[in-house]
Structure 1
Amino acid sequence: GAIERIGIEGTGGLGRALAEYLVSEHVEVRDVPPHKTSLRQRGRHEGKSDLLDAHRIAAETQRNDALAYAFKQSSPSAPDAVRDQISLWHNARTSLRKIRVQLIGEIDALIAGLPEHLRTQVPERNTARARINSIAELDTADVTDPIVTLRLQLIEHRTTMLRDVLTQDKTAEAELAALVTRTGSHLTVVCGIAARAAAEILLETGDVRRFTEAGFARFTGTAPIPASSGEGGKQPVRHRLNRGGNRRLNAALHRIAMIQLRCEPRARRLYDSAVSRGHTRREAMRILKRHLSNILYRTMFRDTQPPPA
């Protein structure tokens, strides 16, 4: 019969080239998440092979009309160029952050092995840049021990690498800020959202028009899950924490909530009101995050609407 749609597992990864070709040929392409196919009897009953995986992807594509379109779009369309650039810079910055942590750990370990008269010249610093500056001021004129000399050489080498990483990270942050501005997003107007946080939210969300407001809350893991029965046609009386959804977006919402509790009076009032009604502090935080999810959705949705004539 006629092909209604094609499902690909990983349209943002190994399946991207195929997805781009099919979209250019006006074929409807759906992105099948890997966890969807793993739920369809992988391992316990049928095992795993390319043929079995292809069959599971096809079955999920045929069965599930709610699967996202390729490249996180709300309708069949090519990938967004600006979003792709955001993805590349965001991934680069994530890698740089991991390298920075590793280098700082190695430098600290090398410093810990220095003699006391050298080690005491490097006081504790809160930032990587301050640590680099303090290391550069070390007085090593009287060092003759070859082991200590080697440690100092390795410290200098790691410090040079750390300087380069910090420079690249600063460049990546500036590029992300410029790209967020190009998207026309107003997320940075919201208290607690810097350009890099806005970039991550835009990247993880894609085209927000593919969600409803409640659907976006489920996607971010901020919508509680019903956990009671026996109510008949009434609303459920008990809910539990939703541990699903996109955990990166959920973590971003948590950071925004923590900042708003310090800087935004309205968030503090909402939180205190929930506590005064008998909610625990964790439950009050979940209420605030659910509220922030709605704010993010409405802000991004307004950004997609054409300006009034």
Structure 2
Amino acid sequence: MTTDITTAHSTIAGVDTHTDTHTVAAVTATGQHLATETFPATRTGYTHLTEFLSNHGVCTVGVEGTNSYGAGLTRHLIDRGYPVVEVLRPTRSIRRRDGISDPVDALAAARQVLTGEGLSTPKDSTGPVESLRALHIARKQLVSTTAKLITTIKSLLVTAPDDIRVRYSTMTNHRMINALVACRPSLDLIDPRNGVLTSLKILATTYRALRKQVDELETRIAALVAVINPHVSNIVGCGPIVVADLIISIGGNPERIHSEAALAHLCGAAPLPASSGRTNRHRLNRGGGRRANSALYRIAVVRMRCDQRTKDYVARRTAEGLSKKEIIRCLKRAIVREIYRVICTKRSTPQPRDLHRGELKELRIAKHLTQAVVADSLGCAPARISDIETGKRPLMELASAYEKFLESA
């Protein structure tokens, strides 16, 4: 993800971005400070900032936070034809040495562009991936809220009157929510029993409404993922939410990830050298995006449970003396290779024969096989077999294995 910048005979600008203002500093190709000015973070401010860049002959702009406070400015500059690179926030040691102020940070950003170190291409925030990011944030927040609601309901049941506690605390979450929504507490709130039931009913009703919205968002996310890259769902272990995590982390311009190693670093799945003197070793990369790393972990866990190739690999590596954590690290790096091929180079996974999904179902029924039996033989969930037969998800690798299984059954 490192970006090479040619700065000979050029003027460079760095921008320190904030909620209300953006401070820009211009420097020469040798790092000499030319000018610094602050502009409001508005459309008019963006226009004046662009005029400042034009007046000083700026050819490249380094912006802090291109995907946060500087997102609007980044879009504006790219639309005006300015090459924009993302610069890292100064380290603590530098900030302690040089102090903290908007002009100082803007000047440091400009000089970082000159060094060519720690630069990256900003994510594209003008396409469908930005819509996917917004939907994903909304779903994540609603899921978090529903989890807190369940916790609150169970906390209230701990101190509730005995008859209420005995009746609802032994139920599963789904049954408990439905029962509480259907209950009819009295309006006499002087009685603590009615006060508790009323509170539980309101919490349960809110929970069920939010869960419906979560399901609706997940449906929209799945549809949008299919539009952005229909081949990602073919990767074993990739559901729509996991795929959304990966696509959002990579961005709407996956070509900015120039290699598998760069993607591995982005996902925090690349080993880093930690050798010194007589010590020759590597350590786990603690950097990278936590969202992408979490997605890789979930894919690895699903494969360890359902994919036969992964099961064989885990057994072999376990016999070699590796721990479960070490095996998962190896699996993450292997999964990155597959993710890079499908998302960044936009190559599809192997395609099955052109067989209609309805024919698969008819052939399965003709052989007196249930979805559960087929799923058990292929090491997947019965729901995935249903997805293939209905065409809900294009699981090409699994569909190909399904066809071969039916032909040999």
Q: Same fold (TM over 0.5)?
A: yes
1:105 alignment partner in structure 2: 151
Three-state SS of the structure 2 residue aligned to 1:114 is coil
Q: Which residue identity does 1:7 align to in structure 2?
A: G
Aligned mates of 2:202, 2:131 — CA distance in 1:
31
Whether 1:95 and 2:137 are equivalent positions in the alignment is no
Corresponding letter in the other structure for 2:115: R
Cα distance in 1 for residues equivalent to 2:67 and 2:266: 18
Residue 76 of structure 1 corresponds to which residue in structure 2? Answer: none
Q: Given the superposition, is the C-alpha separation of residues 142 and 182 from structure 1 closer, same or farther in structure 2, using an over 3 Å criterion?
A: closer
Q: Deviations over 1:189-236 (max 9, x none)?
A: 1111101111111001113322211111111111111122458xxxx9
- Indicate which of 109, 115, 136 corresponds to 1:63: 115
CA distance in 1, matches of 2:58, 2:347: 31
**CA spacing shift, 1:247–1:59, aligned 2, 3 Å:** same
Instruction: Pick one of 62, 68, 91 that aligns with 1:13.
Output: 68
2:295 — aligned with what?
252
In structure 1, list runs of 5 or more residues that go unmatched: 74-78
Distance 1:30 1:144, change over 3 A: closer
Aligned to 2:161: 115
Match of 2:323 in 1: 280
What aligned pairs does 1:37-186 form with structure 2 within 5 A after superposition? 37-39=90-92, 41-42=94-95, 44-64=96-116, 67-70=119-122, 72-73=123-124, 79-127=125-173, 129-136=174-181, 138=183, 146-186=191-231
1:208–1:300 CA contact under 8 A, matched in 2: yes
* Higher relative contact order, structure no. (Cα contacts within 8 Å, ≥ 6 residues apart): 1
Distance 1:304 1:19, change over 3 A: farther
Cα deviation per residue 1:265-303 (whole Å; 9 max; x = unaligned)?
Answer: 111222222222222222112111111111111111342
What residue identity is the alignment partner of 2:98?
A: E
Taking only the aligned residue pairs, the percentage that are identical comes to 29
Unaligned ranges ≥5, structure 2:
1-10, 12-56, 349-409
Indicate whether 1:30 and 2:85 are aligned. Answer: yes
CA distance in 1, matches of 2:307, 2:204: 39
Deviation, structure 1 residue 237: 4.5
TM (norm. structure 2) is 0.66
Give how far 1:61 is off.
2.5
Q: Following the alignment from structure 1 to structure 2, what is the Cα–Cα distance between the partners of residues 275 and 14?
A: 46
Matches within 5 A, 1:188-267: 188-206=233-251, 207-211=253-257, 212-230=259-277, 237-267=280-310
Q: Give the 3 Å change call, closer, same or farther, for CA 185–47 of structure 1 in structure 2.
A: farther
Count of aligned residue pairs for this structure pair: 291
The alignment yields a C-alpha RMSD, in angstroms, of 2.4
SS in 1 for 2:85: strand
CA 1:280/1:216 → structure 2, altered by over 3 Å: closer, same or farther?
Answer: same
Aligned structure 1 segments of 4 or more residues deviating by more than 4 angstroms: 137-145
Q: 1:165 to 1:258 in 2, by over 3 A?
A: same
Alignment deviations for residues 147-170 of structure 1 (CA, whole Å, 9 cap, x no partner):
222222221221222122111111
User: Which structure has greater strand proportion?
Assistant: 2
Which of 50, 58, 65 matches 1:3?
A: 58
Structure 1 residue 67, shift from structure 2 partner = 1.9
Contact 1:118 1:139 in 2 (8 A): no
The 2-side partners of 1:209 and 1:53 are apart by: 29
Between the aligned partners of 2:93 and 2:215, the Cα distance in structure 1 is: 44
Comparing 16-25 with 268-277, greater Cα deviation is found at: 268-277
- Secondary structure of 1:45's counterpart equals helix
Cα distance change on mapping 1:82 and 1:148 into 2, 3 Å: same
Q: Does the 8 Å contact 1:107/1:158 carry over to 2?
A: yes
TM-score by length of 1: 0.86
Compute the displacement of 1:136 (Å).
Answer: 3.4
The CA distance in 2 between the partners of 1:39 and 1:144, in whole Å, is 56
Distance 1:38 1:167 in 2: 44
Point out the more displaced range, 115-124 or 286-295: 115-124
Kindly tell me: are residues 157 and 140 of structure 1, through their superposed partners in 2, closer, same or farther at Cα, counting changes over 3 Å? Answer: closer
Letter in structure 1 aligned against 2:212: T
Partners of 2:162 and 2:317 lie apart in 1 by 53
CA distance in 1, matches of 2:166, 2:315: 46
Q: State the alpha-carbon separation in 2 of the partners of residues 20 and 91 from structure 1.
A: 21
Name the CA shift for 1:144/1:65 in 2 (closer, same or farther; >3 Å): closer
